[in-house]
Amino acid sequence: MDKITIEQSKTLFQMAQRQFDEAAALLDLSSGMRAFLRVPMQELHIRFPVRMDDGSTRVFEGFRVQYNSARGPTKGGLRFHPEETIDTVRALAAWMTWKTAVVDLPLGGAKGGVVCDVKKLSVGELERVSRRYIRHISRNLGVNEDIPAPDMYTTPQIMAWMLDEFESIRGYSEFGVITGKPLALGGSIGRVDATARGGMYAIREAARVLGMHTAGATMAVQGFGNVGKYTATLGEELLGCKVVAVSDIGGALYNDKGFDTGELFNYQMTHGGLVSTYPEGERISNKELLELEVDILAPAALENVITAENAPRIKSKIVAELANGPTTPDADAILVDKGIYVIPDILCNSGGVIVSNFEMVQNVYGYYWGTNRVHERLDRKISTAFIDMHQRAKELGVNNRKAAYAVAIERVAEAVRLRGWVD
């Protein structure tokens, strides 16, 4: 994972605001509504001490941003990253707000994080950091207030520790306050691959619009973390795609005959989480991967990887944004001019929060669904949201991103008006 500098993170939130501004300009919103919706409603900055294994005490910094709760309790992941900043968290909380709205979930958007390097923490230290963080923000959490979930470098085990700490503080069981949990603690079947699976449903719908067959279509996947590896395997399994390029922090691989994604998956599991050392395939750079002539390009790792500099060289027919914020606004315009069909991140990678919402529902009722029901309901949510975006794009004569934002912003703005917060 490349480091995100403080300056880049500021640009990330500015990018999120610019995307909002461009879509809001298409709508009949008051100046007060625009001013209210382009900034977070609430931010929590915390610093907390943790006893380390060597007996020393280290102070960690953390954040939780509750961007907007007009449509329901806020929802969003927690990131443990050594370069985490408040501006990154603000941007991701904003995108989560529009993401939950565009797929019509009864939720708002949030995000959180701790500045730490999990690779340099023991299991015991990681548990203590997790418990301390949730203890410090617990008064702001609840199934009717704010619901965290896993994100970068956080896992179901971390969610389990956080759930236990929260319930210890409150003195009662509340499974739904944390999602992305292990199945034994109320997690949902289908959550692990939900982001990638939702992306495959979105690609399928885009292919229908374009009159394109996915069977045999070439796919390049940038990033082979949790989202990327399932994008590759499900692209092959569900869509019949030929995955010709993959990458991770160590570099990228290309094979014009297509990889066996199951073998790649197994190789990663037994080789330190890397696929870039896989012996079959030509070594290329991550930059070259993005510029390959493929049918589907799936950026599934980093922010700001498609920019005004490299967008003119992007040759895919579809860009499926499985990562958050992979395309800058300036690059967006270039891709549209080139006739490349972009499935925006707030729709394309919304499968995770959709199944997290399913997890909350199952927790509340104490009745858990099977795999088929989860997949069918995820498919329905993504397909309906895609139709809403596509129709709005035609009505307004705009690209998919502006259309998706227009749908989401209208829904949030309506809830704000009905509550009487802003006219």
Q: Rounded CA gap, 408 and 24, in Å?
A: 10
Non-local (6+) Cβ contacts of 7 within 8 A are: none
Chain-centroid distance of CA 45 in Å reads 22
Q: Rounded CA gap, 370 and 110, in Å?
A: 28
Task: Tell me if 224 sits within 8 A of 231, measured CB to CB.
Answer: no
Do β-strands 341-343 and 318-320 pair in parallel, antiparallel, or remain unpaired? parallel
Burial class (CB in 10 A: 0-12, 13-18, 19+), 394: exposed
Given 3, 75, 99, 111, which residue is catalytic? 111
Looking up tokens 């939130």 gives 13
Q: Rounded CA gap, 273 and 228, in Å?
A: 12
Q: How are the residues of the chain apportioned to helix, strand and coil, as percentages rounded to the nearest 5?
A: 50, 20, 35
User: How many helices and strands (H and E) does the chain possess?
Assistant: 14, 12
Q: Is 181 a catalytic residue?
A: no
Token pair, residue 358, equals: 């399913």
- 3-state SS class at 248: strand
Residue 190 belongs to what H/E stretch? Answer: none
Q: Rounded CA gap, 350 and 383, in Å?
A: 12
Q: Rounded CA gap, 246 and 91, in Å?
A: 27
Task: Tell me if 69 sits within 8 A of 157, measured CB to CB.
Answer: no
Phi then psi dihedrals of residue 260, to 5 deg: -80, 105
Catalytic residue IDs: 111
